[in-house]
Amino acid sequence: MKARWVHPTTTGGPAPLPVHQQLGLFYAYEAELLDEWRLDEWLDLVDEGFTYLIPVPLVTDHHPQLGYDPSALFMDETRESISENWAARLTDDNIAVSWADRPPVRTRRFLSALRVRSTDRPDTYLARLNVRVAMVRHGTQSGDMTGERFDVVRRAGDSFSIMSRFVVLLDAVVDAPRIRTIV
Protein backbone atom coordinates (compact mmCIF):
# COMPACT_ATOMS: atom_id res chain seq x y z
CA MET A 1 0.00 0.00 0.00
CA LYS A 2 1.15 3.51 -0.72
CA ALA A 3 3.25 5.22 1.97
CA ARG A 4 1.42 8.51 2.20
CA TRP A 5 2.32 9.73 5.67
CA VAL A 6 5.69 9.39 7.42
CA HIS A 7 7.18 11.17 10.41
CA PRO A 8 9.32 14.24 9.64
CA THR A 9 13.09 13.81 9.66
CA THR A 10 16.11 16.11 9.46
CA THR A 11 19.82 15.69 8.85
CA GLY A 12 20.48 18.67 11.10
CA GLY A 13 22.43 18.29 14.32
CA PRO A 14 21.26 18.95 17.86
CA ALA A 15 20.06 22.50 18.48
CA PRO A 16 21.92 24.60 21.07
CA LEU A 17 21.21 23.94 24.73
CA PRO A 18 19.24 27.21 25.23
CA VAL A 19 16.84 26.12 22.50
CA HIS A 20 16.32 22.82 24.32
CA GLN A 21 15.69 24.67 27.58
CA GLN A 22 13.32 27.20 26.06
CA LEU A 23 11.38 24.58 24.15
CA GLY A 24 11.17 22.37 27.25
CA LEU A 25 9.47 25.22 29.11
CA PHE A 26 7.25 25.93 26.12
CA TYR A 27 6.00 22.34 26.15
CA ALA A 28 5.36 22.44 29.89
CA TYR A 29 3.09 25.45 29.50
CA GLU A 30 1.50 23.91 26.43
CA ALA A 31 0.69 20.83 28.49
CA GLU A 32 -0.98 23.02 31.10
CA LEU A 33 -3.30 24.51 28.48
CA LEU A 34 -4.19 21.11 27.11
CA ASP A 35 -4.71 19.54 30.53
CA GLU A 36 -7.05 22.38 31.44
CA TRP A 37 -8.91 22.11 28.10
CA ARG A 38 -8.03 25.75 27.27
CA LEU A 39 -8.05 24.97 23.58
CA ASP A 40 -8.72 28.54 22.48
CA GLU A 41 -5.47 29.62 24.14
CA TRP A 42 -3.67 26.52 22.88
CA LEU A 43 -4.60 27.46 19.30
CA ASP A 44 -2.46 30.59 19.74
CA LEU A 45 0.57 28.31 20.00
CA VAL A 46 0.15 26.75 16.55
CA ASP A 47 0.63 28.10 13.04
CA GLU A 48 -2.28 28.94 10.76
CA GLY A 49 -1.27 25.97 8.61
CA PHE A 50 -0.85 23.58 11.55
CA THR A 51 -1.54 19.91 10.88
CA TYR A 52 -2.06 17.19 13.46
CA LEU A 53 -1.57 13.66 12.21
CA ILE A 54 -1.57 10.29 13.96
CA PRO A 55 -0.94 7.26 11.73
CA VAL A 56 -2.53 3.90 12.43
CA PRO A 57 -0.38 1.94 14.90
CA LEU A 58 0.82 -1.34 13.40
CA VAL A 59 3.02 -4.20 14.57
CA THR A 60 5.27 -5.70 11.89
CA ASP A 61 8.29 -8.00 11.92
CA HIS A 62 10.61 -5.29 10.62
CA HIS A 63 13.61 -4.01 12.53
CA PRO A 64 13.77 -1.22 13.41
CA GLN A 65 10.06 -1.12 14.03
CA LEU A 66 8.35 1.84 12.34
CA GLY A 67 5.39 1.24 14.62
CA TYR A 68 2.76 2.52 12.25
CA ASP A 69 1.22 2.06 8.82
CA PRO A 70 2.31 4.96 6.60
CA SER A 71 -0.68 4.35 4.34
CA ALA A 72 -3.33 4.99 6.99
CA LEU A 73 -4.22 7.80 9.38
CA PHE A 74 -6.04 7.61 12.65
CA MET A 75 -6.24 11.37 13.20
CA ASP A 76 -6.05 14.12 10.56
CA GLU A 77 -6.80 17.59 11.86
CA THR A 78 -5.79 21.17 11.20
CA ARG A 79 -5.81 24.35 13.25
CA GLU A 80 -9.10 25.22 11.60
CA SER A 81 -10.78 21.86 12.23
CA ILE A 82 -9.65 21.83 15.86
CA SER A 83 -10.94 25.35 16.32
CA GLU A 84 -14.29 24.68 14.66
CA ASN A 85 -15.00 21.14 15.82
CA TRP A 86 -13.08 20.68 19.07
CA ALA A 87 -12.74 24.06 20.80
CA ALA A 88 -16.21 25.19 19.77
CA ARG A 89 -17.77 22.31 21.73
CA LEU A 90 -16.49 23.84 24.96
CA THR A 91 -18.15 27.25 24.63
CA ASP A 92 -21.01 28.28 26.89
CA ASP A 93 -23.39 27.97 23.94
CA ASN A 94 -22.51 24.37 23.12
CA ILE A 95 -21.22 22.66 26.26
CA ALA A 96 -24.68 21.52 27.38
CA VAL A 97 -25.00 19.23 24.36
CA SER A 98 -21.32 18.29 24.04
CA TRP A 99 -22.05 15.09 25.88
CA ALA A 100 -18.53 13.69 25.93
CA ASP A 101 -17.13 16.93 27.32
CA ARG A 102 -19.47 17.16 30.28
CA PRO A 103 -17.91 16.35 32.66
CA PRO A 104 -14.58 16.67 30.87
CA VAL A 105 -12.10 13.82 30.85
CA ARG A 106 -9.28 14.81 33.19
CA THR A 107 -5.80 14.53 31.74
CA ARG A 108 -2.19 15.00 32.78
CA ARG A 109 0.57 15.06 30.20
CA PHE A 110 3.94 13.61 31.11
CA LEU A 111 6.73 14.73 28.78
CA SER A 112 10.27 13.44 28.59
CA ALA A 113 13.38 12.92 26.46
CA LEU A 114 13.10 16.14 24.49
CA ARG A 115 15.51 16.19 21.56
CA VAL A 116 15.67 19.25 19.32
CA ARG A 117 17.44 19.21 15.98
CA SER A 118 17.99 22.00 13.49
CA THR A 119 16.46 21.83 10.03
CA ASP A 120 17.37 23.38 6.70
CA ARG A 121 15.07 26.31 7.49
CA PRO A 122 16.30 29.11 9.78
CA ASP A 123 14.91 29.17 13.32
CA THR A 124 12.94 26.04 12.56
CA TYR A 125 13.47 22.83 14.51
CA LEU A 126 12.38 19.23 14.64
CA ALA A 127 11.48 18.42 18.22
CA ARG A 128 11.02 14.81 19.31
CA LEU A 129 9.75 13.94 22.75
CA ASN A 130 8.01 11.12 24.52
CA VAL A 131 4.50 11.79 25.77
CA ARG A 132 2.10 9.98 28.03
CA VAL A 133 -1.38 11.43 28.37
CA ALA A 134 -2.91 9.93 31.50
CA MET A 135 -6.70 10.20 31.42
CA VAL A 136 -9.54 9.62 33.83
CA ARG A 137 -13.14 9.75 32.66
CA HIS A 138 -15.78 10.62 35.24
CA GLY A 139 -13.18 10.14 37.95
CA THR A 140 -13.10 6.36 37.62
CA GLN A 141 -12.29 5.07 34.14
CA SER A 142 -8.57 5.51 33.61
CA GLY A 143 -6.38 4.92 30.60
CA ASP A 144 -3.70 6.59 28.60
CA MET A 145 -2.29 7.38 25.22
CA THR A 146 1.47 7.01 25.04
CA GLY A 147 3.75 7.75 22.13
CA GLU A 148 6.34 9.96 20.55
CA ARG A 149 5.74 13.44 19.20
CA PHE A 150 7.49 14.66 16.07
CA ASP A 151 6.89 18.42 16.10
CA VAL A 152 8.16 20.94 13.58
CA VAL A 153 8.40 24.24 15.46
CA ARG A 154 9.64 27.68 14.56
CA ARG A 155 10.72 30.60 16.64
CA ALA A 156 8.02 33.23 17.11
CA GLY A 157 9.41 36.20 19.01
CA ASP A 158 10.30 35.06 22.53
CA SER A 159 8.36 31.85 22.10
CA PHE A 160 7.67 29.18 19.49
CA SER A 161 4.92 28.24 17.12
CA ILE A 162 4.08 24.62 16.30
CA MET A 163 3.90 24.08 12.55
CA SER A 164 2.96 20.41 12.60
CA ARG A 165 2.57 17.53 15.02
CA PHE A 166 2.94 13.85 14.05
CA VAL A 167 2.41 11.36 16.87
CA VAL A 168 3.44 7.70 16.77
CA LEU A 169 1.42 5.78 19.34
CA LEU A 170 2.88 2.88 21.26
CA ASP A 171 -0.18 0.66 21.58
CA ALA A 172 -1.58 -1.15 18.56
CA VAL A 173 -4.96 -1.12 20.29
CA VAL A 174 -5.92 2.36 21.38
CA ASP A 175 -7.56 1.89 24.74
CA ALA A 176 -8.19 5.33 26.19
CA PRO A 177 -11.24 6.98 27.72
CA ARG A 178 -10.91 9.80 25.19
CA ILE A 179 -9.33 9.11 21.84
CA ARG A 180 -10.02 12.59 20.45
CA THR A 181 -7.08 14.16 22.25
CA ILE A 182 -4.06 16.30 21.46
CA VAL A 183 -1.22 13.97 22.44
- The sheet carrying 124-137 orders its strands as 68-78, 46-57, 159-169, 141-156, 124-137, 106-118
In terms of DSSP bridges, do strands 46-57 and 159-169 run parallel, antiparallel, or are they unpaired? Answer: parallel
Coil/strand/helix, residue 71: strand
Smallest distance from another protein to CB 69, Å = 4
Smallest distance from another protein to CB 140, Å = 8
Contact between 86 and 101 under an 8 Å Cβ cutoff? The reply is no
Nearer to another protein, 36 or 84 (CB): 84
Nearer to another protein, 8 or 70 (CB): 70
Smallest distance from another protein to CB 179, Å = 4
Contact between 139 and 115 under an 8 Å Cβ cutoff? The reply is no
Nearer to another protein, 24 or 47 (CB): 47
Smallest distance from another protein to CB 165, Å = 14
Smallest distance from another protein to CB 49, Å = 13
Q: Which residues bind another protein (CB under 8 A)?
A: 1-2, 4, 54, 56-61, 69-77, 81, 84-85, 88-89, 94, 97-100, 137-138, 141, 172-175, 178-181
**In which region does residue 21 sit, left (phi positive, over 0), alpha (psi from -120 to 50) or beta (all else)?**
alpha
Nearer to another protein, 25 or 172 (CB): 172
Smallest distance from another protein to CB 74, Å = 5
Choose among 145, 171, 183, 143: nearest CA to 59.
171
Nearer to another protein, 114 or 136 (CB): 136
Contacts for 170 with CB less than 8 Å, ≥ 6 apart: 57, 67, 146, 147
What is the DSSP code string of 25-45? HHHHHHHHHHHTT-HHHHGGG
Nearer to another protein, 23 or 77 (CB): 77
